[in-house]
Structure 1
């Protein structure tokens, strides 16, 4: 006899399941099946997830496209850092990049017009959280996310980095205007 191994009659799987325990196992299994079906339904019919396209890109390529958009559509600058505010025409490709510790540029979009919003991070992982719309995307260097957006309410929206990106993370906020 060994002190390390338990006696054969103490193995849990060799004992019969009590009726109450079996009932709870059946309830738990049924609940798991219900949640699995509901998650599938939320994904397909609930419009809970963003439909994004993702492409490989280099920071230099993305910065070149973003700079061309800024040069063409800048209407003013804001903040101490003189971040440009761009107002691209409806239906155009709009570029927004995240880098230590800001979003660049500030976007000014038109209500009820559709845009293709291109997002990426230049240096580290960043988060794109659009509040109060509660849109969250993790931005990873080397990948370009494309989201088709149609703003349906005018106002000023907050952009927040929700992925810790270093000592200046708490200052990584911006805004998006919808006119």
Structure 2
């Protein structure tokens, strides 16, 4: 086959398949199938991906639930922005709002206790990244994302937005406290 031939004579699918090309196509296909079946395997047995729930909601409804939680469980305020820190009881629903360029409120959870963490963006796509645990969730506007979490080690963890959300994206950080 030559690039100089007229177009009607150089249609690649009309050319005979070389044995080496067939071997590479077979290798690529087998590798794609291995990767395809590894994704559900690692999700179920390797616990590589978080299984979470997501529901459509409105910013107003989610803000109302978050405000009620803050009013009921606020223990103190932090930073010069006066962001409330809430300490909800074990087993309860915990709400966290993502909005330009802030996580609200800060959370204080007990080690060894299970919580349902509800996340929602009020404006743009944000990313919830809990460090150093490397938990990453995309937080979409209009959807309430729910994770079941059980903190195991006491300490101070960082919550970082890992989806570019505008000019002050680098300032969108918060803390999660885990106490005994």
Deviations 1:66-87 (A, max 9, x none): 1111111111111110111111
SS at match of 1:166: coil
Partner-residue secondary structure (3-state), 1:164? coil
Q: Which residue of 2 aligns with 1:84?
A: 84
Deviation at 1:5, TM superposition (A): 5.3
Alpha-carbon distance change, 71 to 13 in structure 1, aligned in 2, over 3 angstroms: same
Q: Distance in 1 between matches of 2:8 and 2:100?
A: 61
Note if 1:177 corresponds to 2:177: yes
Shift of 1:176: 0.3
Counterpart in the other structure of 2:75: 75
Describe the SS at the equivalent of 1:96. strand
Moved more, 24-33 or 78-87: 24-33
SS in 2 for 1:37: helix
Cα distance in structure 2, aligned partners of 1:130 and 1:150: 13
**Counterpart secondary structure, 2:47:** coil
Match of 1:123 in 2: 123
Instruction: Give 1:4 shift.
Output: 10
C-alpha distance in 2 between matches for 1:169 and 1:124: 11
1:101-139 deviation per Cα after TM superposition (whole angstroms, max 9, x unaligned):
110110000001000111101122211111111111111
Across the aligned residues of Structure 1 and Structure 2, the Cα RMSD in angstroms comes to 1.7
Distance 1:15 1:156 in 2: 63
* Distance in 1, Cα, partners of 2:146 & 2:47: 17
How many residues are paired up? 176
Unaligned runs of 5+ residues in structure 1 are none
Listed as ranges, the gaps of 5+ residues in structure 2 are none
> Aligned partners of 1:13 and 1:123: how far apart in 2?
49
| Counterpart-to-counterpart distance in 1, 2:127 and 2:169 | 10
